[in-house]
Structure 1
Amino acid sequence: MISPDTARFWWRAVPKERPKGAGWRAVDESDFREREDRVTGRQSLTGPVPGWADDLLRTARAVFLADRLVRRDASPDRWTRHFTLSLPVTDPERWQEAAVPVLEPLLRALTGDVWTLEFRQLPQRPTQVLFPGDDARRAREVALFSGGLDSLSWAAQRAADARRGPLLLVTFAERKPQKRVQQPAHEAVRALAKRLVRQITVPGQTPQAHGSTLERSARSRGLLYAALAVRAAAAEDVTVLHAPENGQLALSPPPSRQAEGETEGEAEEGAVGGLPASVVHPWLLHLLNQLIQAVAGTVRVKNPLLYDTCGEVCQAALAAGLGRDDLERTLSCAAAPARRPGPDIVNCGLCYACLVRRSGLLHANGADATPYEAAPWLLPADHRRTELWRALELWLERPEFTADDLVAELPLPPRTHAEPLLEVVEHGRDELRRLVRSAPRMEETA
């Protein structure tokens, strides 16, 4: 039974399609600001996109659109919302029977909301325009490339490996960060490349507000980003998609659950890294891979940096040939000033992702010359934006991080050993402790 406060969205298979029944809100590609042909059109793919990959992307787009169009503060608890989505796919029976049991828990864990998915027959496959087939250009590896520390480090390491074929980087572009961060990061990778490096840049998906205020937490954005890259990997006939994120952020241990002031509705549009339900958390990646397998998909998503701290990721980037300035130009922030109007400051310096970033650069370089919006240790002690810093200091005073802490919010996948993950967290805590000890001195000498 559908609750009366459930938001019901019907994704139109064709522009003039009408929802069957009352209470639905019809949505489609036109509800995004970006031109459709720049999102799913010609993108230098060397092969056709399988139906299941198009279906996955359509589902992720509908989820993201619903997520942004329904405000959390209108819910009884000012957070949890209820959604029902009706979506057209190539094989509705498979999606309904095999995918829904995995997809609905995935969305619940990712967004904190309650989701009901209904699938119906897609009347026709999307039209695809492909570049002429060229096996020499076909990717042998595909990776997400955001322009952050983690994706830059991984791309630099892989690009320098001359033994492999072409590397395809999939970038989810954003207007200001693309010019300030993503383009310079890609140029730094190309300068080190000993193999062909291709890039697909997909414009950021911005819903049409139609006069209302969009929800800002945007927890489903990571799934949309992953689905875009899975689609590209499937078209290139690559079976593993790399989604690099250091273990400190991927595991999201305390105090990151208190990060970003998110419960106050202050998380910025596009804030994904470092939030409590990052899509690259091992459990969510496990569910995502189960979902792909359930719809007969051929791509597996893997986080190659799960067992690395941010400092170790930075060290690997330097060893691959990147310079300190390359690392300091990256975007790590979960509430990035780079996404807001105003001065060209890229990272806030206060969120959990920025604090991990500061500790990683300090570990690798002995210093961090990144220009931040603010430093938490220089703000008044009662300033609301120092809450996370104070929580971090208390958390680091705890003698150890236990296996129970590791699974307090989300479980680990079957046959996943906790010990190596606990080591990552403890090594990351050591890096953060050094940041806490060095912070005032670092600011005095900056």
Structure 2
Amino acid sequence: MKAEIQRRRLNPAPRAWDLLSIALSVVTADFAARRDQSPDGWTREIEIDIAVADAPFWSGQAAALAEALAFLTTDRWTLRFHEGGFLPTPPRETVRPTDDCVVLLSGGLDSLVGAIDLAAKGRKPFAISQTVRGDADKQVDFAAKIGSGLVHLQLNHNANTPGIQETSQRARSLIFITFGVLAATALKAYHDGQEVPLFVCENGFIAINPPLTGGRLGSLSTRTAHPEFFARLQDVLDAAGVRVKLTNPYATKTKGEMLKACADQTLLRTEAARSTSCGRFQRFNYHQCGRCVPCQVRRAAFLAWGTVPDATDYVYKPIGKDDAEHAGFDDVRSVAIALAAVKADGIDSWLGHALASPFIQDRAALLGMLERGLGELRALHQTYGVK
């Protein structure tokens, strides 16, 4: 990863390199600390010592970072910083890309739409991917086909720990965003003193990730683009003087609305089914399961879009089938219970405190988006006869 950045002769800001050291340490600890060994089977207490180039500054941000991580992973974090961190010598002939923003390109449907829209609106995004087995080739292909072809950089943290690794991997969000921050601070616009937008494109329903039932923790699914995590991490970036603005332009849009409003419908129709949304993609030998919450949101979005049939090869397609692998599967039941609860008691009762964060400023817009997102899921369950 570091070698690839240096091979491309990029020169990220020193505190962006420090943030990379922090993110690598966090993601490695996330792998090593197993949730099933914690007292409640989920919440962990994690303490890590991290070498950085500017230990006094980061020591002052330790509490803020720990709070951001606590929200992201629902764990208790203690971070300690000391000198000796990696800070490479700038390349002799630095390359400063002239792109005007950075976009995370994961191989997922939302990031595909986001990159398409940015290029269609005349932006020149630098596409950053976190290389994931099963998605690497499509990341390259998507970048080549969007606009006149995007400048694209694939990075991989290669974190590994001995023994059995924790599979939830909630901290991976931090490392992916950090890759984007590194790239943003290497752009010519950044070196010219400008603030660089970093686009993390995710539909609002998954970004908010409302607990579907009372027994389902929000962190059972990713919180990569949740407004609170964004705001907490943005505060740290601002304190560091890192002029990168985290932005999710689809925070108040459902996935179906993203598909319908995509600026290049021809390209989207061709590539949408190739994208990945599944939370269990690797577990099913690089096939999408069709029944996890992200898959259900994806399938509901295709129905709402209505332009082309969903040609995705799902492992469990008929989710209304009355057995444990389909309608009886936990995620399908959780969505069904949520839909029933909203119908019986209203959305405010079902949501509880999900939108109570002081970091949420546009509650009415988010509430409307969640209602529309539930409507898309309701249509999916009715289509497949989920009861």
Q: TM-score, normalised by structure 2?
A: 0.88
- In the TM superposition, residue 149 of structure 1 has moved relative to its aligned partner by 1.0
Output the CA distance in 1 between the equivalents of 2:158 and 2:141: 23
- Secondary structure of 2:80's aligned partner: strand
1:44–1:200 contact (8 Å) kept in structure 2: no
Q: Note the 1:2-13 alignment, pairs <5 A.
A: none
Q: Which structure 2 segments of 5+ residues have no match?
A: none
2:351 paired residue number? 405
- 1:141-160 superposed matches below 5 A: 141-160=101-120
What's the CA shift for 1:393?
1.7
Mapped pair 1:387 → 2:330: yes
Superposition deviation, residue 178 in structure 1: 1.2
Identity %: 29
Structure 2 counterpart of 1:188: 145
2:329 is paired with a residue whose SS is helix
The CA deviation string for residues 366-409 of structure 1, in whole angstroms up to 9 with x for no partner, is 53221111125254434486222122122112233228826338
CA distance in 2, matches of 1:174, 1:133: 26
Instruction: Give how far 1:434 is off.
Output: 1.1
Say which of 365, 368, 382 aligns to 2:310. 368
SS of structure 2 residue aligned to 1:171: strand
1:201 corresponds to: 154
Q: Cα gap change, 1:293/1:132 in structure 2, threshold over 3 Å: closer, same or farther? A: closer
Residues 408 and 334 of structure 1: is their aligned pair in 2 closer, same or farther, counting only changes over 3 Å?
same
Q: How far off is 1:365 after superposition?
A: 2.2
Farther off after superposition, 274-283 or 232-241: 274-283
Unaligned stretches of 5+ residues in structure 1: 1-34, 264-272, 442-446
Does the residue aligned with 1:322 lie in a helix, a strand or coil? Answer: helix
1:286, CA displacement in angstroms?
0.5
Match of 2:73 among 98, 107, 111: 111
Alignment check: 8 A CA contact 1:152 1:185 kept: yes
228, 231, 243: which one pairs with 1:283?
228
Q: 2 CA distance for matches of 1:188 and 1:315? A: 19
2:244 corresponds to which residue?
299
Counterparts of 1:74-93 in structure 2, within 5 Å, are 74-93=37-56
Amino acid paired to 1:354: C
Amino acid at match of 1:239: V
Match of 1:25 in 2: none
Q: 2:99 aligns with which of 114, 128, 139?
A: 139
Query: Contact 1:257–1:276 at 8 Å: present in 2 too?
Result: no
* 2:224 aligned counterpart, secondary structure: coil
1:251–1:61 distance in 2 versus 1, CA, 3 Å = same
Q: Report the Cα distance in structure 2 between the residues aligned to 1:331 and 1:82, rounded to whole angstroms.
A: 32
Distance 1:377 1:167, change over 3 A: closer
Asked if the contact 1:307/1:421 (under 8 Å) is kept, the reply is yes
> Closer, same or farther in 2 for the Cα pair 1:124/1:53, shift >3 Å?
closer
Amino acid at match of 1:230: V
Q: Contact 1:104/1:117 (CA < 8 Å) preserved in 2?
A: yes
Paired AA for residue 350 in structure 1: R
CA distance in 1, matches of 2:51, 2:302: 46
2:201 pairs with 1:244: yes
1:68 aligns with 2:28: no
Deviation per residue, 1:167-207 (Å, 9 max, x gap): 2011111122212x323322331xx33xx62111112x333
The range that moved more, 55-64 or 119-128, is 119-128
Q: Is this contact kept in 2: 1:103–1:291, CA < 8 A?
A: yes
RMSD across aligned positions (CA): 2.7
Indicate the residue corresponding to 1:377 in structure 2: 319
**One-letter code of the match for 1:78?**
G
Aligned amino acid, residue 401 of structure 1? I
Q: Give the counterpart letter for 1:116 in structure 2.
A: T
Deviates further, 352-361 or 309-318: 309-318
Instruction: Please say if 1:167 is aligned against 2:167.
Output: no
Task: Return the alpha-carbon distance in structure 2 between the equivalents of residues 252 and 311 of structure 1.
Answer: 16
Aligned equivalents of 2:362, 2:207: Cα separation in 1: 16
Partner secondary structure for residue 219 of structure 1: coil
The change in CA–CA distance for 1:174 and 1:382 in structure 2 (over 3 A counts) is closer
Q: CA distance change for structure 1 residues 440 and 104 in 2, over 3 Å: closer, same or farther?
A: same
Report the AA paired with residue 202 of structure 2.
E
| Contact kept in structure 2, 1:156 and 1:320, CA below 8 Å | no
Provide TM-score, normalisation by structure 1: 0.77
Q: How far apart in 2 are the matches of 1:256 and 1:184?
A: 38
1:178 match = 136
Q: CA deviation at 1:438?
A: 1.3
Shifted more, 141-150 versus 84-93: the winner is: 84-93
Within a 5 Å distance, the mapping from 1:307-318 to structure 2 comes to: 307-317=252-262
**CA 1:383 to 1:326, structure 2 compared with 1: closer, same or farther past 3 Å?**
closer
Query: What one-letter code is carried by the residue in structure 2 that aligns with 1:208?
Result: N
Counterparts of 1:64 and 1:368, CA distance in 2: 34
Aligned equivalent of 2:171: 220
Q: 1:202 to 1:258 in 2, by over 3 A?
A: farther
Q: Tell me the distance in 1 between the aligned counterparts of 2:385 and 2:369.
A: 26
In the alignment, what sits opposite 1:358? 299
83-92 or 428-437, larger mean C-alpha shift: 83-92
Where does residue 255 of structure 1 map in the other structure? 212
Deviation at 1:248, TM superposition (A): 0.7
Supply the distance in 2 between the matched residues of 1:409 and 1:430 (Cα, whole angstroms): 19
CA distance in 2, matches of 1:138, 1:116: 38
Preserved contact between residue 113 and residue 268 of structure 2 (Cα < 8 Å): no
